[in-house]
Amino acid sequence: MAAAGCILATVIFTFLPYCPVSALVEDLDDSFRENRKDDVWLVDFYAPWCGHCKKLEPIWNEVGLEMKVSGSPVRVGKMDATVYSNVASEYGVRGFPTIKLLKGDMAYNYRGQRTKEDIIEFANRVAGPLIRQLPSQQMFDHVRKRHSVFFVYVGVDSTLKEKFIEVASELIVYTYFFSASEDVLPEYVTLNEAPAVLVFKDSTYFVYDEYEDGDLSNWVNKERFEGYLSIDGFTLYELGDTGKLVAVAVIDDKNNSVEHARLKSIVQDVARNYRDHFHRDFQFGHMDGSDYINSLLMDELSVPSFVVLNTSNQQYFLPNKQIESIEDMIQFINSILDGTAEAQGGDGILQRIKRVAYDAKSTVVSVFKSSPLLGCFLFGLPLGVISIMCYGICTADTEDGPEEMTRKDVVDQNLSDEGSDEDQEEEKNRENATDMSDEDQQEKDLMEKKKD
């Protein structure tokens, strides 16, 4: 589609010697604050020297093109945050690149992976109404096919609905929120009472229970992932927000031997059939390949194996025997819950020192692997070089250094959790945004959805 648009554009602007893709991304400056008026903007705040920003640039141009071609009302821009730092800091920009969708008084941060598809999906979701109406069963089915996880409010106006809107204005950056009347829902849904909030996922649905599940925002945050996931480094970082332990089968997807498939299916079984017991504390999934997990644990895991990670303190749990059955796994998970399983790793001072040594070792190994000659030259030079390195490592300040390194392992970009001033700003403006979901917009949105 992008290519087609590009060709089209080139045909139209034949007097231009190249495809004018970058023209669809507006270069923003000081005047942006006054000029942005009522438009919805998707802005990349970048720094000229930052590598991740350079990597994003071609993707950003494609995003600009595709938004234009698809007739989206969202305008795409970029701003050199080092030149217009006052504007950037007004929007709470700290790291680079920072992607924000600006709508009314709200500034929504993009935290997903920086791919064209993900960014466009985010922009369309957040730019649209907070709560989308589902007027018919066909619409419901359509949404069901499109989204693996989504939340639905059922019922008339209530305090629960107010809460739902409030939660949506905060979590629209992650997931979808709808409202529907009961007769629009599929027949297999039975509600004991209305109003109610439901999540549809894992080929079924779950109902929010204020007494069991506590705060709605907390519940949505924990339920916004499917019960079983294919996990990579980035997903692991995102899962950190849920506060759940991550129970992951480390396998080799390409290996045909039965152990791999069996371990995966045991985890899937436990995730599905023991949801009631474990879903509040555990997120289940598998990871393809052990490189990432090895660098996280600073250990060599045999593949396949099963490990439970605590992303909040970097501790992990390994079963003391091979997991051969569902019973083995349940026993192991219960031993974590009751505290009898022994935690390893962590973020203590010893672990941090180990991290420095581990990273230094990996660097040496990777230099040797990629270029043995260079390796010999660098590390073969006697004591001098090595002692300088040791000196460097030992005097590196152990407080900040290792911390940053572990962070980098989980996310190799600066996806700083935008701090408190911005949250306050959002808090302050939340009410305004709820007014945005006016009839017109909803209808327009539905029309658009229907078309595709």
Ligand X SMILES: *[C@@H]1O[C@H](CO)[C@@H](O)[C@H](O)[C@H]1NC(C)=O
In the complex, the smallest distance separating the C-beta of residue 314 from ligand X, rounded to whole angstroms, is 9
Token duo for residue 449: 């959805």
Beta bridge partner(s), residue 133: 179
CA distance 97 to 80: 10
In the complex, the smallest distance separating the C-beta of residue 92 from ligand X, rounded to whole angstroms, is 11
* C-beta closer to ligand X: residue 46 or 150: 46
Q: Which of 19, 53, 376, 394 is catalytic?
A: 53
In the complex, the smallest distance separating the C-beta of residue 409 from ligand X, rounded to whole angstroms, is 15
Token duo for residue 130: 């907070």
**Residue numbers of the site for ligand X (CB under 6 A)?**
94-96, 104-105, 245, 252, 255, 257, 259, 304, 310, 312-313, 315, 336, 343, 414, 416, 431-432
In the complex, the smallest distance separating the C-beta of residue 70 from ligand X, rounded to whole angstroms, is 27
* C-beta closer to ligand X: residue 96 or 177: 96
- Do residues 86 and 77 lie in contact, with contact meaning Cβ atoms separated by under 8 Å? no
Cα distances from 274 to residues 9, 194, 280, 326, 333, in angstroms, run 54, 27, 11, 10, 11
In the complex, the smallest distance separating the C-beta of residue 315 from ligand X, rounded to whole angstroms, is 6
**Closest C-alpha to 158, from 121, 200, 194:** 194
* C-beta closer to ligand X: residue 204 or 313: 313
The helix (H) or strand (E) run that includes residue 305 is strand 305-310
The helix (H) or strand (E) run that includes residue 201 is strand 196-201
Task: Find the residue with minimal CB distance to ligand X.
Answer: 416
CA distance 427 to 39: 21
Q: Which of 50, 376, 390, 394 is catalytic?
A: 50
CA distance 400 to 377: 31
**Closest C-alpha to 64, from 28, 29, 27, 23:** 23
CA distance 239 to 281: 12
Give Cβ neighbours of residue 194 (< 8 Å, ≥ 6 apart): 154, 155, 156, 182
**Closest C-alpha to 358, from 299, 317, 399, 302:** 299
* C-beta closer to ligand X: residue 86 or 432: 432
For residue 60, with 0-12 CB atoms within 10 Å meaning exposed, 13-18 middle and 19 or more buried, which class applies?
A: buried
Active site residue 53: yes
CA distance 149 to 242: 15
* C-beta closer to ligand X: residue 120 or 250: 250
In the complex, the smallest distance separating the C-beta of residue 13 from ligand X, rounded to whole angstroms, is 36
In the complex, the smallest distance separating the C-beta of residue 77 from ligand X, rounded to whole angstroms, is 20
Cα distances from 197 to residues 131, 175, 213, 390, in angstroms, run 13, 14, 12, 58
Catalytic site residues?
50, 53
